[in-house]
Homo-oligomer: A and B are copies of this chain.
Amino acid sequence: MKKLVNDPSDYVDEMLEGMVAAYPDRVRRLDGTKVLVRSDAPVDGKVGVVSGGGSGHEPTHAGYIGDGMLDGAAAGEVFTSPTADELNEMVRACDAGEGVLCVVKNYEGDVMNFDTAAEMAEMEDVEVAQVVVNDDVAVEDSLYTSGRRGVCGTILVHKAVGAKAADGGSLEEVQAVGEKVIDNVRTMGMALTSCITPEKGEETFDLGEDEIELGIGIHGEPGTERTEMMTADEVAEHLTENVLADLDPDDGDDVVSIVNGMGGTPLSELFIVNRKVQEILDDRGLETWDAWVGDYMTSLDMMGCSVTVCRVDDELKELLGAAVDTPALKR
């Protein structure tokens, strides 16, 4: 196994230690947990915004902790939900009395544990609301998921709800913004190679030398089809067309696009994909208000990418464009 790792069972623990060592003024770890929170959490007068999920998707979620985005992020083991107890601790640590919004990716374990955590926190008089992100258009119901999976669109939810909370929005208003992004964001991904989890040390699924998988999930869950190697333009076209078919935008709509790397694909290739994505959006009469290109929601060392399109109105532009100061996203 070709990884920069010590004992694989310490992978998440040591990754979190490395994050705190990198950003000691920004984040702190809740004792005895895999939860990171803003060093100044809870932030007075502000709704708390938290997320979490299995590790292996870095910089998701802890990389987005900071002003204008997340107050806390709970890490599970690789591709495994955080426990309800740890989620509850996070929610309580991020509550300044204004309530806490949980941004949940739609996986059964995450949904169940966030639900339980919310019940636990509410028993201690913390007001909790939730949004569940399900932006992946590839498949309905999958390994780990009823309904659609939550993938890279989650980052736009983090950004918008974080900005609304920073702007003094109430819990209800912050939640409404999250729902609005979810209603308007769609994603589809593909893999050139399988990821390799540190514990297992070998490929999660087999792909032939000339084979790729379309519609793949961020844990290597099956996609829509295996096919022969495609060009970057063909990949961009397949993903973008599927996303747009589902989103069904109107001519002249403003959108934010994301070409997201899966972890093992270099940035140069993502720009080659973005070239075609922008051409397609333009041909469809859509206006790209902002284009993101980079590794936002990864799957360990998997090679591949996803394409996200989010329709934005003036409110979402203001929130997505607002100042943010986190390790992984600044503006």
Contact = CB atoms under 8 A, between A and B. Distances in A.
Nearest to A279: B21
Contact of A298 (B63, B267, B298): B267
A141 interface: no
A18 B298 contact: no
Interface residues of A, number: 57
A264 B232 contact: no
B303 A301 contact: yes
Nearest to A291: B22
A22 B293 contact: yes
A268 B300 contact: yes
A266 B298 contact: yes
Interface stretch (A105-113, A165-173, A269-277): A269-277
Contact of A192 (B3, B16, B268, B272): B3
Interface string A1-41: 01111100001001111110111000000000000000000
Interface string A282-316: 00000000011101001011011100000000000
A59 B267 contact: yes
Contacts of A193: 2
B278 A21 contact: yes
Given A231-B6, A235-B4, A264-B301, A271 B192 contact: no
Q: Which of A4, A59, A266, A304 has most B Cβ within 10 Å?
A: A4
A265 B300 CA distance: 8
A104 to B, nearest CB: 21
A233 interface: yes
A59 B192 CA distance: 21
Contact of A55 (B5, B56, B268): B268
A52 interface: no
A58 interface: yes
Contacts of A266: 56, 58, 263-264, 298, 300-301
A16 B266 CA distance: 14
Q: Which of A15, A193, A235, A264 has most B Cβ within 10 Å?
A: A15
Given A2-B192, A14-B272, A63-B267, 12 more contacts: A4-B305, A14-B232, A14-B271, A15-B275, A18-B272, A18-B293, A21-B275, A59-B267, A263-B266, A263-B267, A264-B266, A293-B327
Closest 4 CB pairs of A and B: A18-B271, A18-B275, A4-B269, A21-B278
26 contacts: A2-B229, A4-B232, A4-B304, A5-B232, A5-B269, A6-B231, A14-B232, A15-B269, A16-B271, A18-B271, A18-B272, A18-B274, A19-B274, A19-B293, A21-B275, A21-B291, A22-B271, A22-B274, A22-B292, A23-B291, A56-B266, A58-B268, A264-B266, A265-B301, A267-B295, A267-B298
